[in-house]
Amino acid sequence: MKLSKLNTLAIIAASVAATATFTASASSISGNVEAGKSKAATCLACHGEGGGKPIAPEYPILAGQHPDYILAALQQYKSGKRKNASMNGFAAALKTQDMKDLAVYFAAQPSPLRSKY
């Protein structure tokens, strides 16, 4: 009886893991656009309205960017793999869920960015 319960648990765990892997590979990030909007005030000071109008030419447009790229950039800034005095500081204060929310928020904004050429 114990063994079959364990087996059931193992099957559930495996299917959850498989679902998680699938979600990640489909690059659907479990973020919330509205939550991201409320967390984006700091970002907009430099990246502009909706992340689409940066205040300086060397700052990137974030609006419309791929969400998993934004998430990866924030994680790299937090870990220190990617270095930028401003961004390292901002990212250090973010939790993973904050990053996901910001990523889906910026990805959803109107943008001049295109992935092809």
Contact positions toward other proteins, by CB under 8 A? 27, 54, 56-61, 64-66, 68-69, 71-72, 81-83, 111-117
* 4 versus 115: smaller Cβ distance to other proteins: 115
* 10 versus 55: smaller Cβ distance to other proteins: 55
What is residue 36's three-state secondary structure?
helix
Q: How far is CA 18 from CA 6, 49, 60, in A?
A: 18, 38, 35
Spatial separation of the C-alpha atoms in residues 61 and 66, rounded to whole Å = 11
* 2 versus 83: smaller Cβ distance to other proteins: 83
Structure tokens at 80: 């220190």
Cβ at position 34, least distance to other proteins in Å:
23
